[in-house]
Structures are given as C-alpha cells and as structure tokens.
Structure 1
Amino acid sequence: MATGECNCGAVGYEIAEELSDVYVCHCSICRRSTGSGGIAVVAVNKAQFRWTKGEDQIQTWHKPGHDWQTRFCKTCGSTLPGDNDDERMYVPVGTLIEGADNLKVAHHIWVDSKADWEEIGDDGKQHPKAFGA
C-alpha cells in the first residue's frame, strides 16, 4: 500500500496497488501549474485510490477551454492527485510518503513542449507528445 499527503497534512490518500512507472510531463500547462520543468506522476487505477482525509480541503482548477484540471490543497497549495481521464488517478510522486522507494522515471511525455533550459538526464523513454506518440 502507498500513502501520501499534502505539505501541511490536511489532505491524505492511499493507493491499494503496487506503484511502478513514473511519467514526467513537460507540457507548458504542467510547467505553469507547478512552477517547474513539469510534473512527475504515477498513474493508478481509480478503484485502487481513496482519499483518507481532507477532501473538503481540496480545490480544483480547470483550465479554460481545455479538459485539463489540477487539484491542490486549499491550505498549503500542494499539488494533489487528479483524474484527467475516466480510468486513472495521476498521483504527484512528490506527495508520496510510503510506496515510492523503488520508483524510477520510465517515460517523459510532451518532450517537444519542454522548456529550453531543461535537460533530461535519465534513461526514461522520451515521447514528443503524449505517451505512445
């Protein structure tokens, strides 16, 4: 079982499946959302994910004109797991407390959109657009 929470501990979650591949999204939307080069996430089955505390502390922001949305803690602003599709939750790896010990970056997506200043220095497979592109 994997567990995680926001910076202040107001929001918590657990995942009842083994975590594996880390995906790093380098698109401009994720860069602006995080204020960094992108976001590292694990994709998990929604049926295996559950909030354990603080659901009332979760704020969701939808990008106008897009299906994309992000969640964050109302108190500390930490990025939280989100569900930009019907099957999976995308869990920011940085919010994991337990279950991240052996994770490695397997894929970089939207590499064609990455910031000019960013260098990818690991062995993760690079995809010009979304996974599989």
Structure 2
Amino acid sequence: MAFRPAEGGCLCGAVRYRIDAEPKLADICHCSMCRKSAGAPFIAWIAVPHTGFHWTKGEPAAYRSSKDATRYFCGRCGSQLMMRGGSNAELDGVLIGSLDEPARFVPTAEGWASVKLPWVKLGLPLESHPKDNPAF
C-alpha cells in the first residue's frame, strides 16, 4: 500500500508541514537534550527522508542544539516540530506529537534508554538502545 502523506504543525497554527515520504522508523528518545528541548520526559519521533519533508505554512524558528543538529519550532507558540542533522543527515526527526494524526505512527524502538527516567514505564515492547538508535 502506498504511503498516505501526513501533515502537522504547531499549537497556534502559524507553522505547518507535510510529509510525502514513508518514515524509516518511529523512535522514542530519552536523551537529556530531547527532554530539555521539549520540557517532557522523552520525545517520540518519526524519521523521514529529508526530501520528503516540506514546510507548507509559515517560517519556523531554528535553534542549533549541537554541532550537527538544528531543532525547528514555532517562534510564536514555541511548539517544537522537527530536528535536522544528528547522526543521519539524510533523515529529519519529526515529533509525533506535532502530527495531525499522531496515532498513525507507533514507536518500535527507544534510544538513550541508559538515561531513561526511572519512573517512565512504556506500555509498548520496544527495541532498546543504551545510546542513539543506530538506525537514526
């Protein structure tokens, strides 16, 4: 079956995007940078080919969070939307929670499980990686 494009955006609606390529993976990240950037105990991502991600409305703000990664968010409401760069420059990490239909994408793995907060208990059987998910 062909991939049905997905859309998403920020809380206030000022920035929107479209995904035209099937995600390569869905992952949860427990690293401290993801926690800090989202103000949450972890982030759930889908990794999509860079060429399959397109901004459709507004212009996101950007923050260079490390030497190889930039996080994109709405400059008005602050919603984090996407990360570009990191260990696989061919893929963009899109926050599942920013999608219009987040239930379509179920994480199958978790990265940085070695620093997962001790009270986080997920109800999914996930492939667990102590550091970065090597596929992302």
State the TM bucket, normalised to the shorter chain. 0.7 to 0.9
d(CA) in 2 for partners of 1:108, 1:124:
6
SS of equivalent to 2:118: coil
The alpha carbon displacement at 1:91 in A equals 0.5
Offset at 1:123? 0.8
Q: Does residue 42 of the first structure (1) align with residue 46 of the second (2)?
A: yes
What amino acid sits opposite 1:6 in the alignment?
C
Identity %: 37
Q: 2:34 aligns with which of 30, 48, 54?
A: 30
Cα distance in 2 for residues equivalent to 1:101 and 1:8 = 20
TM-score, scaled to structure 2: 0.84
Say whether the 8 Å CA contact 2:23–2:49 is kept in structure 1: no
Letter in 1 for 2:119: W
CA distance in 2, matches of 1:96, 1:131: 22
Instruction: Work out the CA distance in 2 between the residues paired with 1:40 and 1:131.
Output: 13
Q: Once superposed, which parts of structure 1, at least 4 consecutive aligned residues long, lie more than 4 Å away?
A: none
- The more displaced of 71-80 and 20-29 is 20-29
Partner of 1:17: 21
In structure 2, runs of 5+ residues without a counterpart are: none
Deviation at residue 101 of structure 1 after TM alignment:
4.1
Query: Structure 1 residue 21: deviation in Å?
Result: 3.4
Residue matched to 1:68 = 69
Counterpart Cα distance in 1 of 2:27 and 2:109: 5
Alpha carbon RMSD of aligned pairs, Å?
Answer: 1.9
* Structure 1 unpaired stretches of 5+: none
Q: The residue matched to 1:97 in structure 2 has which SS?
A: coil
**Letter matched to residue 17 of structure 1:** A
Aligned residues: 129
The one-character-per-residue Cα deviations of 1:8-27 (angstroms, maximum 9, x if unpaired) are: 11001101123463200000
Q: Is the 8 A contact 2:49 2:90 kept in 1?
A: yes
In 2, distance between residues paired with 1:63 and 1:5? Answer: 20
Cα deviation, residue 30, structure 1: 0.6
Which residue matches 1:6?
Answer: 10
Q: 1:63 to 1:21 in 2, by over 3 A?
A: closer
